[in-house]
């Protein structure tokens, strides 16, 4: 009988330890995600991400006399090819990045439809498409980092087609050498 009681104590104890370990792991993951998001938001604000600002050097000019300030590029549903209308802006940004030896991150985003795994893959293909245009225009591959957020950082929380269109994007973020 004593052995049976001991086995019950061990079993209950290991279940309790397992539950505590699982909950601690989830808290740690959540705090890591929150820290990463806070870091991202700080970096994005300091680099001008999301406000369509320039990369900082006003002396670098494009053929039109201004630096291309467009750094968000939208994609069609379930597609990752860059629109021809976006290529001049990507190429102008590539010229600035290459000439000033800047480092950038291209973020790939999707709308919330589809599985998490599929959206991460699609976001990565979108980011790589933008990066490939920049590399073709002289940006060294070591200057470009690609990251996919899938549907994790939505531009719009609505559920209409126009909301989804805002979510399907690639964003160029200056990572401050």
pTM score: 0.63
Q: What would the mean pLDDT of 23-30 be, rounded to a whole number?
A: 44
**Which letter does DSSP use for residue 102 in this model?**
-
Q: What is the CATH number of the domain that holds 133?
A: 3.30.1330.60
Lowest-pLDDT range of 54-63, 94-103, 108-117, 146-155: 54-63
31-47 CB burial, b ≥16 within 10 A, e <16: eeeeeeeeebeeebeeb
Number of domains in the chain: 2
Residue 154: its pLDDT value, please? 93
Percent of the chain with pLDDT over 70: 67
Q: 38 is in which domain, residue-wise?
A: 1-47
Residues 87 and 161 both lie in one domain? yes
Q: What is the pLDDT of residue 175?
A: 86
64 pLDDT above the threshold of 70:
no
CA torsion 71-76-77-81 (nearest 10°) is: -80
Same domain as 82, residue 6? no
- 107 and 170 share one domain: yes
The tokens describing 38, both together, are 């806070």
Mean predicted confidence (pLDDT) in 14-21: 64
Are 87 and 31 part of one and the same domain?
Answer: no
- Tell me the three state secondary structure of residue 62: coil
What pLDDT is stored for residue 12 in this prediction? 73
Sign of the alpha-carbon torsion through 62, 64, 66, 70: negative
Whether 152 is in a domain gets the answer yes
Question: Does 77 share its domain with 37?
Answer: no
């Amino acid at each position: 009988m004593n052995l049976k009681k001991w086995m019950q104590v061990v079993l209950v104890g290991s279940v309790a330890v397992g539950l505590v370990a699982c909950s601690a792991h989830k808290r740690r993951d959540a705090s890591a995600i929150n820290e990463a998001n806070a870091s991202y938001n700080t970096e994005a604000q300091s680099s001008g991400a999301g406000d369509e600002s320039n990369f900082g050097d006003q002396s670098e000019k494009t053929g039109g006399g201004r630096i291309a300030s467009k750094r968000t590029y939208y994609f069609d549903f379930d597609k990752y090819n860059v629109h021809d209308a976006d290529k001049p802006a990507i190429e102008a940004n590539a010229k600035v990045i290459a000439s000033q030896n800047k480092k950038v991150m291209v973020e790939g985003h999707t709308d919330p439809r589809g599985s998490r795994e599929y959206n991460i893959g699609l976001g990565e293909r979108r980011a790589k498409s933008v990066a490939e245009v920049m590399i073709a225009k002289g940006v060294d591959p070591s200057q470009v980092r690609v990251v996919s957020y899938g549907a994790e950082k939505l531009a719009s929380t609505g559920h209409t087609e126009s909301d989804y269109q805002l979510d399907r994007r690639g964003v160029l973020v200056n990572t401050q050498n």
